[in-house]
Structure 1
Amino acid sequence: MSRKHWLALPFMFVGQTAMADCGAPEDMCETATGGYFIELPDTENPPMVVFLHGYGGSGTGTMNNRGMVEPLLARGYAVMAPEGALRNGRKSWNFFPGWEGRDETAFLSEVVQDAAERFGVDSDRIVLGGFSAGGFMVNYLACAAPDTFSAYAPVSGGFWRPHPEACDGPVRLFHTHGWTDNVVPLEGRFLGGGRFQQGDIFAGLEIWRTANECVDNRPDAFGTTDQFMRRKWTRCAEGSALEFALFPGGHTVPKGWADMMLDWYEGLPGS
């Protein structure tokens, strides 16, 4: 072995160690355009749930929601919490068309690829979830680029007005919302002194039915899971999935969401 290659080896090993050091839940992994926190199950090549925090939240706050994180880990899923970029002094997501800022689709694709290289997560089995502003981000990304991730699971977030004229499809999406949510009400509300308006959640579902080429507006399957009242549309385009779960609480990620969402995801063809 040449002296040049011999000298390079220690630096190579140090670099690899440094890459893996960010795997602790409290240590951010940095990429070219941002960063993320991650926690891994005790399995190889695991699927992953990427969960986006709400306005003013953080990746650390997401990881501290152990009622959500631990059930996902117990089911063999890695959990990633990307860090939003600063918007008006608080961390959030650049979801609304026409806003200036980070390309979030590129960023989220970047952090998933980084996690695949660092930790061996399965980049073909990624569920993108998010709460509130993170849920809005999930909807807009799924609308514009549905093939980016395997499935989408927004909580308490839909579209803003004006709604998208149309979304690409098919999409596999599971929307969860609280009956008494008054931060993102089912009917929507005005923000910023009337400059912005949250959209109607049911109007958003109509956009998804159109994207998925559903034959009827009416759901054709109903059910309950603990506190959740569920309705879904099954007579839609091949490869699509659309379900809505309503729970009696307010603006929160509800207890039981993680297992319910994974039951839905694992029941999809190819998952």
Structure 2
Amino acid sequence: MSSPQQPFSSTPPRHRMLVIASVIVAVLALIASVTVTGCGSDSASSGSADSTGSAVQACTRALSGTQTVEVAFTGETYPVRVHVPTDADPNTPLPLVLDLHGSNSNGTSQAEISGLDAVADADADGFIVAEPTAAIALDTDDPLPDGNWAWNVPGVPTTAGEYPDDDARDDVAFLAAVIDSLTEQACVDADRVYATGYSGGGRMASALACERPDLIAAIAPVAGLRAGRATEDDVTVLDPTTCAPDRPVSVLTFHGTEDQVNPFAGNDDARWGYSVEAAVSAWADLNGCTDEAATEKVSDHVSLTRYGSCEGEAAVELYTVDGGGHTWPGTGVDISALGTTTQEISASELMWDFFAAHPGQ
């Protein structure tokens, strides 16, 4: 008759220690293979390592459709219009596009001009669109329902020709807070955050890329690309020391040759200054692009100029609209008072294609 199986407690001490050690090693290995990343204040989710060993972000998104999100900043809260495609997977992090309005406008009006909600909805995976509103109030004879506002672009006067007060909201820091807040609340992929903007919003998006390249993978200003401030002695000359990002930021921009607000060739107004080509060339230098610019015609009145062989697989591209005004190519909103709006291209569709092709470093 065989002997009954001995309980674990009767296992020889040396063998028992080896078994315990093996269990501990297995548990530690399991813990090391899982990374928990919270992406929402009321979510509880986890991530895992991908095939390369990198942590995969995981979170749960409660936001869906178009709504207003309150963003806290320096003791105040500010409303931000946010659109999330309704059929987006709530457990999958999505790219974020900041869509910044022009001077004398607001986030709601910008959403109508850009039409990026529809582009986000049409994309197979979708992306989040956020339209914050600036905080410098402008007096106007044509007030908008949500107010007329201007951004605090560092070192640049507003369209009223005045420099913001010293206590004006720091909009570079504010936009960083918007990104942080939506990363938590809307399950944003922090490596795929982009910014576009119209006119003054384009200047603001440019400043954000100059000062916080760690947050922005690419920008696509419309009628407003800058690469830092002009020199104090001559506003038609770019001061290269005022924009020095420590990593490449891909840049796409659109500009009409008949833009009377921010002239393609530049002007001697401190609110604009040096030319569009100077701004594009400066970004090519900042991104370490080594190939000469190459230009091709894409439609009857639109040409595309590309700089190649940039560092970190970045890109710098300019769509020039021959005869185009201070307008958003492809918009369905009547902004004809600002010049000709081409319908030969859609800035919103093209910028999303560009963003999707240029994730962060």
Bin of the TM-score, shorter chain as denominator length: 0.7 to 0.9
Letter in 2 for 1:185: P
Select the residue among 160, 165, 187 that pairs with 1:120.
187
Paired residue type of 2:351: M
Given that residues 219 and 251 in structure 2 are in contact (C-alpha distance below 8 angstroms), is that contact kept between their aligned partners in structure 1?
yes
Per mean C-alpha deviation after superposition, the further-off stretch among 126-135 and 249-258 is: 249-258
Please report how far the alpha carbon of residue 63 of structure 1 lies from its aligned counterpart in structure 2 after TM superposition.
2.1
Structure 1 vs Structure 2 CA RMSD:
2.8
**Which residue identity does 2:312 align to in structure 1?**
E
Higher helix share: 1
How big is the shift at 1:158?
2.6
Distance 1:200 1:144, change over 3 A: same
2:201 matches 1:134: yes
Look up the match of 2:88.
Answer: 43
Q: Which AA in structure 2 matches 1:31?
A: V
TM-score by length of 2: 0.62
Stretch moving more, 168-177 or 116-125? 116-125
Which AA in structure 2 matches 1:161? A
- Who is 2:105 aligned against? 57
Moved more, 41-50 or 261-270: 261-270
Percent identity (aligned) = 29
Q: Which runs of 5+ in 2 are unaligned?
A: 1-40, 43-60, 140-147, 157-163, 232-237, 331-345
Q: Distance in 1 between matches of 2:63 and 2:248?
A: 35
**Aligned residue in 2 for 1:182:** 260
Q: Is the alpha carbon distance of 1:150 and 1:225 closer, same or farther for their aligned partners in structure 2, counting shifts above 3 Å?
A: farther
Q: Deviations over 1:130-188 (max 9, x none)?
A: 00000011112212222221211111013353333243242211111112211111122
Q: How far off is 1:265 after superposition?
A: 2.3
Task: Provide the C-alpha distance between the structure 2 equivalents of 1:137 and 1:209, rounded to a whole number of angstroms.
Answer: 19
Cα offset, 1:236, TM superposition: 2.3
Is 1:81 the counterpart of 2:139 in the alignment? no
Give the conservation status (yes or no) of the 8 Å contact 1:62–1:81: yes
- Name the CA shift for 1:266/1:133 in 2 (closer, same or farther; >3 Å): same
Q: Distance between the aligned counterparts of 2:178 and 2:130, measured in 1?
A: 9
The answer on whether the counterparts of 1:130 and 1:138 sit within 8 Å (CA) in structure 2 is yes
Give me the whole-angstrom Cα distance separating, in 1, the residues matched to 2:273 and 2:122.
35
Amino acid paired to 2:352 = L
For residue 187 of structure 1, give the secondary structure of its aligned residue in structure 2: coil
> Which of 307, 317, 334 is matched with 1:243 structurally?
317
Count of aligned residue pairs for this structure pair = 249
Aligned equivalent of 1:32: 72
TM-score (norm 1): 0.80
Q: What residue number does 1:204 align with?
A: 279
SS at match of 2:81: strand
Q: Provide closer, same or farther for how the CA distance between residues 47 and 223 of structure 1 changes in structure 2, counting only shifts above 3 A.
A: farther
Does the 8 Å CA contact 1:35/1:111 hold for their aligned counterparts? no
Which residue in 1 is equivalent to 2:327? 252
Mapped partners of 1:206, 1:49: distance in 2: 24
**Higher mean displacement: 76-85 or 117-126:** 117-126
Out of 192, 201, 219, the residue aligned to residue 293 of structure 2 is 219
Q: Distance in 2 between matches of 1:236 and 1:24?
A: 37
More divergent stretch after superposition (116-125 vs 50-59)? 116-125
- Distance (Å, rounded) in 2 between the aligned partners of 1:142 and 1:153: 10
Quote the Cα distance in structure 2 between the aligned partners of 1:226 and 1:81. Answer: 32
